[in-house]
Amino acid sequence: MQFLFRHPLILSSIKILVVFMALSGVVAYLVYMERKVLAFMQARLGPMRVGPWGLLQPIADGLKLLLKEDIVPARADKAVFLLSPVISLVAAFSVFAAIPYGPGGWTITNPNIGILLILGLSSLGIYGIILGGWASNSHYPLIGSLRSAAQLVSYEVAAGIAVVSVLLIANSLSLVVIVNRQQQMGVWNVFLNPVAFVVYLIAGVAETNRNPFDLPEAESELTGGFHTEYSGFRFSLYFLAEYTNMVLISSLAVVLFLGGWLRPFSSLRWLWPLDYAPVVALVGAGAFVLWLGLQSRVRGERMFFAALAILCAALAGVVGIPLVLSSIQGVFWLTVKVLAVLYAFIWYRATFPRYRFDQLMTVGWRRLIPVALSSLIVTATMLIWTGYRVVPLLAANLLAGILTAWMVSVRGAGNRSRPTREAI
Amino acid sequence: MTETTFLDANELVINMGPQHPATHGVLRVKLKLSGERVLGSECVIGYLHRGVEKIAENRTYAQFAPYTDRMDYVAGVTNGMGYCEAVEKLLGVELPPRAQWTRMTLAELQRIASHLLWLGTHALDLGAITPLFYTFREREEILSIFENYCGARLTTHAFRIGGLQYDLYDEFENDIRKFCDDFLLKIDEYEQLLTTNRIWMGRTQGVGILSAEDAIALGVTGPVLRGSGVRWDLRKAQPYEAYDKVEFDVPIGEHGDTYDRYLVRIREMRQSVRIIRQCLERLEPGPIFGKVGKVIKPPAGTEVYHSIEGPKGELGYYVVSDGTVNPYRVRIRPPSFVNLQALDKMIRGHLVADVVAIIGTIDIVLGEVDR
Amino acid sequence: MTDELKSPPPGGPAEAAGPPTAPPIPAVTPPAQKQNDAPSLKPAPKPSVKPEPWVSPLVEALQERFPGAVSDCLIFRGQPYFSVRGEELIAVAEFLTSGEGGSYVFLTDLTAVDYPKREKRFEIVYQLYSFARNDRLRMKVLAADGEKVPSVTGVWAGANWLEREVYDLFGVVFDGHPDLKRILLPDGWTGHPLRKDYDILRQDTAWVRANLKIESGQ
C-alpha cells in the first residue's frame, strides 16, 4: 500500500484524475457563472429553471449536448473533422499538469521549463481549430479558422514578450520558482511590471477568442466561426476547450503576475487573520445560500438550500482545523484570484463590442507588441542597473509603458479620422 | 480528395443568409470576397413576400388596415397610421384634434420602440450584447402602453380610418409621462456604453459611407438620408397630422457613415420624447372620430399618394379608387426596400464584418422589404 | 373583382374649384341603404370629388418643350399628376430633374396600376419629389401589354429595384434596365401577380407543386 502511494506514476495518476474531474466541474460551472454574471449585468435573471436558481443548468446542458446528433457534413474530411475537437481539448487540458496549485505537493509535475511547456502545449490547441475549420469544407468555418490562426500567432508574440519580462525578474522558467520569487520579493510581479500584466491579460483574452476579440466565432458575422458545422458532442468538446483555455489563461496570469497561491501580503506576519479567509468565505457562502433558501417559496428549494448551507458550514468546520487550513491555504487563494480574473473576462464580454479583423491586427502588432517590447527592455535595463528593487522597476516600467502606449496610439487615433475605403 | 472545392477559386462567393443571425430576418446577400474584402454583392429578397398589395385589392378599405401592421412589424402603429391617413386624404376627411394628438403620441412612441430595437440588434451585430437587454427593457414599457391602449403589442391596428377606435385609458398620460422622464436617462445609459467607446467608434466610423448625392439618387430616406447630412424629415417638410404645431429638431449627420446614423437615431429618440411631451400637453377631451361613413367608398377615378416619416424612412401609400368598397390599387412605398438598395454601394471595399454593421445601420425589416 | 375602372375624366368641369386641400367631405353612404350612386345622397356643397385640371407654369413649360407628349394634367387633393408618352419619358424626366424643370431629383416611388380593359393597360406611376420646391409630382406613362417602357435608371439610380419590382409583379419590360429580373418572386416563376387577371387559383401551380410540395392555395 505504501509502495503504491509512493510510486510517482500512481500518485500522479491520482492527481491527474482529481485535476481532470475538478477542472471539468469548474468549467461547467464557469459557464453557469458566466451566464449568471452576464444576466446580472444585463438586468435579467439568467438560468433559473433547472434546479434551484438554475444550479443544475450545467448538467442539463452537458446532457443535452451529449444526446444531440453528431452531424458530419457530407463533404467534410471526415477523419480530420472528427479528430480536431479532440486535439483542442487535449491541448487545453494537458497544460494543467504544469500549473502549481499550491506550495509543496500541490502540483502534478513541476518541470523546470514549466512556462515553455505551457506555452508550447497551449499553442497546439489552435491546430484543432484550424483543422476543424478546414475539414468542415464550408465557407464560414474556413474564414473563422483562418482568423483564429492569424489572431493566435499575433497575440502569442505579445503575450510571450510580456511573460519574458516576468522570467527576467524570476530568473527561472519554473512556475513554482516564479511564485516563490514573488514571495521573496515581498511583492507580486504585477506591482513590478503592471504594463506586462495588462499586455498579457489583453493578449490572453485574444488567445481565448473571448469578446472583444471573439472574431473566429463571431456569431453575427460568421454564424459560428470554425465550429459552425459542429454539433452535439463534438461541439461540446470545442466549447469545453475554450472555457478550459479561459481558466488556463487566468491561472497563468495569477501565477505569473498575481502571486499564484500566495496570500495577499503574505510577507506581513501581522495580517495572520487573513489566513482564516477560507473559513470566513465558506461561512459567508453558507449564509448567502441560507438567505436564498429563506427567500424561496418552493419547499424543495428551501430544503436544497438548507442542505447546501449545512454543507458549507460543515466544510467551514473542516477547513477550520489548523492542519487542513494551512494545507488548503494556497489552493484557496489561487482559486479566488483565478475567479477574479475570470470575472473580468466575463465583464469584458458584457461591456465591449467586437473588434474588426484589421483592427484586431492593429491592436496586436502596432499597439501591444511595442508596449510589451518596451516593458521588456526597460525591465532588463533596470534589473542590470538597479537590481531587484521594487520602486525603480515599477516607476521605470510605468513610465515606459505610458510613453509607448501614447506613442503607438497617436498615429491611429487622430481627430475622428475617417479612413476612406480602399480601392479594389 | 480529387474533387474540386471552393478553395480552388481565388474569389470566394459566400451566401450571407437567408438564415443568418445578422441579416435581420430572411435577407440573403451574396457576397463576392477576396479574402475578407467585399468585391461585390447582390441582395436576394422576397422570402417573406406575401402579396400584401394584391390582398389589398380583395379587401375593403377598412379590412386592409390590419394587414399594414404586418409589413414593418416592429412599427405597426406608424404603418397603420400611414394607411389610415392616405385613405382619409382620399376621402377628404379631417380628424378631430384629440385623435391627431393621440396618433402623434403613439407614433412617436413607436418610433422610439423601433429605434430601440434597431439599437439593440445593431449593437449585438457588432458584438456588444448588453445594450440589447437595456433597449428591450424600455421597449417593453412602450409595448405595454400599446397593449393597455389597444390590446395588442406588435400588430396593434391602433387607428381606424377617420380617427381612433378607442379613447385613451385612464392612466395613459401618466404612463407616458413617466416613461418619458425615465427614458431620457436611459438614453444616456446607452450612450455611455457605446457613443465614446473606442471599439464602437472604430467599428462604425468611416464604415459604410453614403454621400448625400448618392443617398438622394438612390431614393434613400429616413435616418439614413439624414445621416448623410440631408436635413429632410417629412414631419417638417410636409407636415401631416399636427406636426406643424410641435417643436422639434431634425438631427443630421456629417460624414454619412455608420456612426453618424447611430447618432442621428439616438438624437431622434430624444426629439421624439420632446414631441410626445408636447402632444400630451395639447391632449384635450373631445371627439376622436372624424366624419366617415360606415362604408368607405372614395369617389371613382381618384388617387392619392400620402407618405409619412416612418421610423425607417418615408413610408408612402398610393391608393387608387374605382368607386367600389375595395381599393383598386394600394401601392406601399416601403422605406426598407428602397434603402436596402444602397447596401451594395455602401459595402463595396469593406470587410465581411462591416457588411454586418452596414446591414444593421440601414435598419431594414424584411416584412416590409418583401411585403 | 376585376372591375374595370373608367379612364379618368379628361379634365372635368371646374365646378367648386375649392382649395386643393379640400374641406371635409362626408363621403358617406348611409349604412342602411346600399345604393351605388353615393354622390346623390350627399348634402351640398360638394368639395372636389374628382380630379380637376391642373394649371401651372410647369405644365406650360412641359407642353411647350414636348408638344403632344404631356397630357391629362390633373390635380386631386393638392396632388398634381400628368401623363407622358413613353417615347419622351427620358427627355421629360431629364427636364424635370434639371433646375429649370423644378429639380425633381428624388424618385420617391415607382409603381404601376393595371387597367386590363384599356388599350394601354399599364399605367406606370412615378412619384417625384423636389427638395428645392418641397413639392411632389406624379408622372404616369401608359404602356400596353408587351410594350417596352424606357428605364429611368439613368436619371434616378434608385429606380433600379423599383423597376424590377414592377417587372416582377406586372410584367412590364423596362428598356435599358441594367439587370431586369424578378426581385420578389422566385426566378422560375411564371405570371405576374399584380395584374388584375391573376389570382391564387391561376398562379403558377406547377412551380408551387414542384418546389413547395403543396397544392396551391393550401
**C-alpha grid cell for residue B198?**
473606442
**C-alpha grid cell for residue B323?**
368607386
Residues of A in contact with B354 (CB under 8 A): 356
**Cβ distance of A42 and B129 shorter than 8 Å:** yes
Identify the band that residue C4 occupies on the pLDDT scale cut at 50, 70 and 90.
very low
Closest CA to A143 of B350, B352, B230: B352
Residue B15 lies in a domain: no
Helices B352-362 & B258-282 angle (0-180, nearest 10): 20
Examine chains C and A and say if they touch (3+ CB pairs below 8 A).
no
Residues of A in contact with B10 (CB under 8 A): none
pLDDT digits (tens, 9 = 90+) for A46-86: 888 887 788 888 888 888 888 888 888 888 788 888 888 88
At residue A420, does pLDDT exceed 60? no
**Cβ distance of B305 and C136 shorter than 8 Å:** yes
At B128, phi and psi to the nearest 5? -90, 110
CA dihedral sign, ordered B56, B60, B66, B68: positive
Check CB contact of C134 with chain B, cutoff 8 Å: yes
Residue type, C51: P
The chain C residue lying nearest B313, using CA atoms, is: C108
Query: Percent of chain A, pLDDT > 70?
Result: 93
Residue B26 lies in a domain: no
**Number of residues assigned to chain A:** 424
pLDDT digits (tens, 9 = 90+) for B253-269: 888 888 889 999 999 99
Identify the band that residue A220 occupies on the pLDDT scale cut at 50, 70 and 90.
low
Task: Report, as an integer, the average pLDDT of B113-125.
Answer: 90
Q: How far apart are CA B169 and CA B77, in angstroms?
A: 17
What pLDDT shows up at residue B291?
A: 81
Residue type, A300: G
Q: Tell me how close the Cα of A41 comes to any Cα of chain B, in angstroms.
A: 8
Check CB contact of B287 with chain C, cutoff 8 Å: no
Beta bridge partners of B13: B32
Subunits in contact with chain A (3 or more CB pairs closer than 8 Å): B
Subunits in contact with chain B (3 or more CB pairs closer than 8 Å): A, C
| Cα-only R_g, chain B | 21
At residue A19, does pLDDT exceed 80? yes
User: CA torsion A163→A169→A172→A176, rounded to 10°?
Assistant: -80
**Superfamily of the domain at C52-183:** NADH:ubiquinone oxidoreductase Nqo5 subunit (3.30.460.80)
Residues of B in contact with C28 (CB under 8 A): 291-293
CB contact at 8 A, A135 and A80? yes
Q: How far apart are CA A316 and CA A334, in angstroms?
A: 18
Q: How far apart are CA B359 and CA B96, in angstroms?
A: 40
**Cβ distance of C160 and B341 shorter than 8 Å:** yes
pLDDT digits (tens, 9 = 90+) for A302-329: 888 888 888 888 888 888 788 877 778 8
Closest CA to C198 of A242, B187, B55: B55
At B147, phi and psi to the nearest 5? -65, -40
Which of C125, C161, C198 comes nearest B318 by C-beta?
C125
Check CB contact of B231 with chain C, cutoff 8 Å: no
Q: Where is average pLDDT lowest: A28-42, B257-271, C10-24?
A: C10-24
Task: Report, as an integer, the average pLDDT of B261-280.
Answer: 90
**C-alpha grid cell for residue A223?**
454564424
**C-alpha grid cell for residue B311?**
421610423
**Cβ distance of A350 and B129 shorter than 8 Å:** yes
Sequential DSSP letters for A316-357: HHHHHSHHHHHHHHHHHHHHHHHHHHHHHHHHHHHH--PPPH
What pLDDT shows up at residue C18?
A: 34
Distances (CA, A) of A124 to A159, A179, C103: 16, 25, 65
Check CB contact of B21 with chain A, cutoff 8 Å: yes
Check CB contact of A357 with chain B, cutoff 8 Å: yes
Q: Tell me how close the Cα of B299 comes to any Cα of chain C, in angstroms.
A: 6
Strands (E), B194-323: 295-296, 303-310, 313-321
**Cβ distance of B193 and A351 shorter than 8 Å:** yes
Which of B58, B298, B318 comes nearest C111 by C-beta?
B318
At residue C14, does pLDDT exceed 60? no
Q: How far apart are CA B13 and CA C194, in angstroms?
A: 34
**C-alpha grid cell for residue B246?**
410641435
> How high does pLDDT run on average in chain B?
85
**Cβ distance of B20 and A223 shorter than 8 Å:** yes
Residue B85 CB neighbours (<10 A): 22
Mutation target to probe the B interface, by most B beta carbons within 10 A, among C5, C117, C128, C211 is C5
The chain B residue lying nearest A423, using CA atoms, is: B349
Q: Tell me how close the Cα of A357 comes to any Cα of chain B, in angstroms.
A: 8
**Cβ distance of B129 and A41 shorter than 8 Å:** no
Mutation target to probe the A interface, by most A beta carbons within 10 A, among B199, B262, B344 is B199
**Cβ distance of C27 and B292 shorter than 8 Å:** yes
Beta strands C28-29 and C148-150 are: unpaired
At B220, phi and psi to the nearest 5? -70, 140
Which of C50, C160, C185 comes nearest B302 by C-beta?
C50
Name the residue ranges covered by the structural domains of chain C. Answer: 52-183, 185-218
Residues of B in contact with A223 (CB under 8 A): 20-21
Chain C 36-75, residues with CB within 8 Å of chain B CB atoms: 38-39, 47-51
CB contact at 8 A, A175 and A381? no
Examine chains B and C and say if they touch (3+ CB pairs below 8 A).
yes
Q: Where is average pLDDT lowest: A17-31, A404-418, C143-157, C163-177?
A: A404-418
CB contact at 8 A, B210 and B227? yes
At residue C159, does pLDDT exceed 50? yes
What pLDDT shows up at residue C216?
A: 65
Domain count for chain B: 1
pLDDT digits (tens, 9 = 90+) for B206-254: 888 888 888 888 889 989 988 888 888 888 888 888 888 888 888 888 8
At residue A218, does pLDDT exceed 80? no
**Cβ distance of B238 and C136 shorter than 8 Å:** yes
The chain B residue lying nearest C166, using CA atoms, is: B331
Residue type, C158: G
What pLDDT shows up at residue B116?
A: 92
DSSP state of C79: E
What pLDDT shows up at residue C215?
A: 73
Check CB contact of B63 with chain C, cutoff 8 Å: no
At residue C35, does pLDDT exceed 60? no
Angle at the Cα of A264 from the Cα atoms of A261 and A270, rounded to 5 degrees: 120
Place of cell 441560507: A290
Give the count of Cβ contacts less than 8 A between chain A and B. Answer: 111
What pLDDT shows up at residue B115?
A: 92
CB contact at 8 A, A288 and A235? no
Place of cell 436619371: C155
Residues of C in contact with B331 (CB under 8 A): 109, 111, 113, 125
Q: Tell me how close the Cα of B151 comes to any Cα of chain C, in angstroms.
A: 28
Q: Tell me how close the Cα of C66 comes to any Cα of chain B, in angstroms.
A: 25
Residue B170 lies in a domain: yes
Q: What is the CATH number of the domain that holds B277?
A: 1.10.645.10
pLDDT digits (tens, 9 = 90+) for C52-97: 888 788 888 888 888 877 888 888 888 888 888 888 888 888 888 8
Q: Tell me how close the Cα of C190 comes to any Cα of chain B, in angstroms.
A: 15
Chain B 68-97, residues with CB within 8 Å of chain A CB atoms: none
Q: How far apart are CA B368 and CA B371, in angstroms?
A: 5
Distances (CA, A) of C43 to B287, B299, C51: 22, 15, 20
What pLDDT shows up at residue A411?
A: 57
Chain A 227-286, residues with CB within 8 Å of chain B CB atoms: none
Chain A 197-236, residues with CB within 8 Å of chain B CB atoms: 211-212, 214-215, 218-223
**Cβ distance of B351 and A423 shorter than 8 Å:** no
Residues of B in contact with C47 (CB under 8 A): 92
What pLDDT shows up at residue B52?
A: 87
Q: How far apart are CA A262 and CA B83, in angstroms?
A: 71
Subunits in contact with chain C (3 or more CB pairs closer than 8 Å): B
Residues of B in contact with C186 (CB under 8 A): 46
HSE-CB of C109 using CA atoms within 13 angstroms: 26
Place of cell 491541448: A91
**C-alpha grid cell for residue A227?**
465550429
